[in-house]
């Protein structure tokens, strides 16, 4: 099983190293036959090739059984015309990774603002206001004059229906409730179209409860009663914001696991950024990336009916939970004593036990 690891920028090499070592220990325990391949992207690739996502690396994702993408610092990249599309954009658009799945839950022993939360944000990943990826040609932000800036939001029937199906299918494996987040009271055309087709898809899931909440109310309710939500279905920008909020409620963005998926491909990528201010200081929390990779293994196992891989993925999450439940083995960002590498060592020990 080929696992492609793309470390990325900032803290990326440190946290992907923990993921790789954890998966190596998991492979040794379960006999999964992992074959690790690592390629440069981002600033490391830019220095060598002039591109932040080389074409050959992008193509290799199709050949890999699983791809783990590290955080990237697209803010400091040269213009796209000079260095190519950012790795995040290139991967999501090339492989049509339309579903961004971000779970957040309270974990025993982890200091958090939400004491009883277990939800999944299912976010549409290719449309909405994201101007760098929602057009076939050109950019969806324009300036007709130096004093006027415009942004085009794209919502389609096909995009709305396919992400709705992911949300309802996910809910069927959980507590059978979908909360649809929108602003159709103001954005009557775009959010109205999204809401209309989510409701229509929901008719095929009579066993799943549907709740509709306006985005500003949802931002407040997520703080007031996070335990009441199961699967949260949103368009692109709302989902990006709400999933970060949910991660903070669970203990911080260091717990923000995430995968980007289509019907045929998926890529693990933690929800947080590259944190260049702490890069190389052994301070980064690798949990989000490790758990993103765990989610990806579970996704691959589910598609192929691989029970051994599914069991291994479940074991990895249990190992992480065991380590973070004890103050003595927690990461520094939540008050523990362990740096990035030492925390990785603790996960490996838990995997082997």
Question: Would you please indicate which residues are annotated as catalytic (active-site) residues?
Answer: 130, 183, 216, 240, 244
CB 338 within 8 A of CB 332: yes
**Rounded Cα–Cα distance for residues 342 and 330 (Å):** 10
Q: In the structure, how many helices (H) and strands (E) does the chain have? A: 12, 12
**Rounded Cα–Cα distance for residues 263 and 197 (Å):** 19
**Rounded Cα–Cα distance for residues 128 and 90 (Å):** 17
- Phi first, then psi, for residue 110 (nearest 5°) are -90, 125
CB 64 within 8 A of CB 87: no
**Rounded Cα–Cα distance for residues 97 and 309 (Å):** 22
Burial of 99 (0-12, 13-18, 19+ CB in 10 A): buried
């Amino acid at each position: 099983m080929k696992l492609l690891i793309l470390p990325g920028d900032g803290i990326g090499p440190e946290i992907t190293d923990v993921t790789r070592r954890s998966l190596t220990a998991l492979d040794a325990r379960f006999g999964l036959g992992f074959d690790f391949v690592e390629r440069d992207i981002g600033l490391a690739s830019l220095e060598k090739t002039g591109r932040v996502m080389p074409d050959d690396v992008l193509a290799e994702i199709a050949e890999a059984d699983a791809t783990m993408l590290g955080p990237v610092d697209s803010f400091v990249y040269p213009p796209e015309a000079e260095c190519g599309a950012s790795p995040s954009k290139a991967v999501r658009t090339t492989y049509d990774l339309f579903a961004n799945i971000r779970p957040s839950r309270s974990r025993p022993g982890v200091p958090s603002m939400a004491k009883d939360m277990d939800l999944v944000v299912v976010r549409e990943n290719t449309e909405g206001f994201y101007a760098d990826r929602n057009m076939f040609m050109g950019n969806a932000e324009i300036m007709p004059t130096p004093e006027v800036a415009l942004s085009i939001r794209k919502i389609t029937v096909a995009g709305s229906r396919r992400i709705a199906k992911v949300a309802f299918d996910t809910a069927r494996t959980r507590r059978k409730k979908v909360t649809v987040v929108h602003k159709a009271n103001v954005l009557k055309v775009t959010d109205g179209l999204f809401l209309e087709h989510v409701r229509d898809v929901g008719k095929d899931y009579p066993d799943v409860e549907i709740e509709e909440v306006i985005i500003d109310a949802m931002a407040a309710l997520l703080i007031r009663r996070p335990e009441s939500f199961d699967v949260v279905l949103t368009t692109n920008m709302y989902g990006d914001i709400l999933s970060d909020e949910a991660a903070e409620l669970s203990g911080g963005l260091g717990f923000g696991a995430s995968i980007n998926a289509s019907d045929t491909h998926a890529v693990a990528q933690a929800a947080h950024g590259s944190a260049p201010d702490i890069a190389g200081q052994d301070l980064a929390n690798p949990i989000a990336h490790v758990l993103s990779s765990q989610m990806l293994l579970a996704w691959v196992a589910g598609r192929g009916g691989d029970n051994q891989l599914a069991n291994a993925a479940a074991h990895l999450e249990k190992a992480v939970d065991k380590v973070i439940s004890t103050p003595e083995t927690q990461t520094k960002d939540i008050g523990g004593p362990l740096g990035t590498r030492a925390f990785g060592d603790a996960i490996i020990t838990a995997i082997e036990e």
